[in-house]
Amino acid sequence: MTEATDPWADRSFLRNVQYKTDGNLAARQSIYAYQHPRIDLPARVLDLAVSGTALSDVAGPESAVTVVDVGCGNGLYLAELARRGFAGRVVGADLSIGMLSAARQLVGAVTELGPAGWALGLANADVTALPFPGGSVDLTLAMHMLYHVPDWPVAVRELHRVTKPGGRVVIGLNGRDHLTELRDVIAAVRGFDRASLKERADLDTAERLATAIFTLVTRHDFIAELRVPDAEPLVAYVRSMSGTMHSADRDGLVTAVLSALPRTPDGRYKITSHAGCLICEV
């Protein structure tokens, strides 16, 4: 698929269909409950983001640090900040109003039990034109969102622009072999070339781009295995994909994929999980 026809980079599709609510994202997130070893990605990423710098105040109750989560989705990273008692300025930015609503709800559920007065700012914004002054953010997160952007260099330069000298930008994406078993089966069932189902941007792509823009880029890979005991989570995952939404026979496609997906002798679906992040110094 080209960028012009790929629904994953179509802003109207993203706002009004794929991410009108967080239902599709939540379906895809749910399969990581079966990850071995289990990786708490928001916690791991935030630990790496602040390690060894003045940004360590991000985890403290008193902080002047500003954190912006660009493409915040349904708020997993914002909720982790709330759990840690971070009392600095926090803004979640997303292209989708529906996702911002879901993020507010999740953070609200966390802060009911957390520190009093924890406030979250929300911005309906595009990563290529962020509504923040240059050099105003201490820690800028861009987790699993770059593959939705038509022009990656513009987006990464904008992340750099809004971040203070000495601050950090964290870019999260997947490795090329992420969910490879599932993608191979979907491609075969749909009669597509396997390469057509690769993610538009992966860790390798982003690392090359970020290295040309930032002072220093450190890569961290999180490799695990999904051991899914039954079909239900995978049915929800496949149904949430844009290709399934555009299929004339969604149910038939889902059934064919699940029938073709290999299983272990004990009946589990075993799928590679490979996420990661780039810690970029400004």
3-state helix/strand/coil string of the chain: CCCCCCHHHCHHHHHHHHCCCCHHHHHHHHHHHHEECCCCHHHHHHHHHHCCCHHHHHHCCCCCCEEEEECCCCCHHHHHHHHCCCCCEEEEEECCHHHHHHHHHHHHHHHCCCCCCCCCEEEECCCCCCCCCCCCEEEEEEECCHHHCCCHHHHHHHHHHHEEEEEEEEEEEECCCCCHHHHHHHHHHHCCCHHHHCCCCCHHHHHHHHHCCCCEEEEEEEEEEEEECCCHHHHHHHHHCHHHHCCCCHHHHHHHHHHHCCECCCCCEEEEEEEEEEEEEC
> Residue 62 falls within a domain, yes or no?
yes
- Give the chain's domain count: 1
Residue 4, pLDDT score: 39
Q: Is the pTM of this model over 0.85?
A: yes
246: in domain: no
Query: Would 262 be classed as within a structural domain?
Result: no
> What's the CATH code of the domain at 209?
3.40.50.150
Q: Note whether residue 265 is domain-resident.
A: no
The verdict on residue 254 lying in a domain is no
Domain membership flag for residue 243: no
The pLDDT of residue 57: 59
Is residue 78 one of the residues assigned to a domain? yes
Q: Find the domain containing 202 and state its range.
A: 7-179+198-230+275-281
Q: What does the pLDDT profile of the chain (282 residues) look like in tens digits? A: 333 357 878 899 999 999 999 999 999 999 999 999 999 999 999 999 998 876 665 555 556 789 999 999 999 999 999 988 887 889 999 999 999 999 999 998 887 654 545 678 999 999 999 999 999 999 999 999 999 999 999 999 999 999 999 999 999 999 999 999 999 999 999 888 777 677 889 999 999 999 999 999 999 999 999 999 999 999 999 999 887 877 778 899 999 999 999 999 999 999 999 999 999 999
In a domain? residue 115: yes
